[in-house]
Amino acid sequence: MAADPSPALGEALRHLARAVGRYEDDASYADGHDRWALYRAAMDTPAALPFLFDAVSLEPDGPLASGVVGDVLERVPGDERERWVGILPPAVRGFSARRARDLGVLESLEQGAVPAAAVDDLIDGWSDWLQGRAVGATADQDVLRVVSRKGRTKRIRQAAVDALRHR
């Protein structure tokens, strides 16, 4: 059986529960699944994000904290992402740090700020997730041609070909 969270985390979780409209004062949140459910509810409640930040910064389960931060990164402005990644223990920070960088590139693609020549130079270092999302983020025909030619998987390359046909 899992132990109850630390007093500091327990207090943060109670504040978070109230922020999302849960008032079960007797909930222990000893189980990571219960904390995950609370964290998921908070991700969908913008006013709860500060409480979520506090709770996740105290979360003893590194993979759980990493999963929360990975999901939150798409919901917060770009200038807040580094702060969220920074609350993770170094051992589990890598994925979220990469995702934050990928999201920055994706936003640049959406704004048309990444020319095809740069995509041609950089795409090999992009994650499969970023390559796949890039197809939907840009209408730039030259960028789509690069992805259709150099995308890592057949699925990514085909998605770019399909996008070229329909845009």
Residue 125: phi, psi to the nearest 5?
-90, -5
Pairwise CA distance, residues 84 & 60, whole Å: 16
Q: Average of pLDDT values for 128-146?
A: 97
Residues 102 and 145 in one domain: no
Number of domains forming the structure of the chain: 2
From 82, 111, 140, the end of a domain falls on 111
What is the SS3 assignment for 141-155? HHHHHHHHHHCCCHH
Domain containing 162: what range?
A: 114-167
- pTM (predicted TM-score): 0.86
How far from each other are the two terminal CA atoms of the chain, in whole angstroms?
A: 55
pLDDT tens for 83-102 read 999 999 999 999 999 999 99
- Of 72, 96, 111, the last residue of a domain is 111
How buried is 4 (Cβ within 10 angstroms: 0-12 exposed, 13-18 middle, 19+ buried)?
exposed
**52 and 102 housed in the same domain:** yes
Statement to judge: residues 80 and 19 lie in one domain: yes
Q: Are residues 133 and 63 part of one domain?
A: no
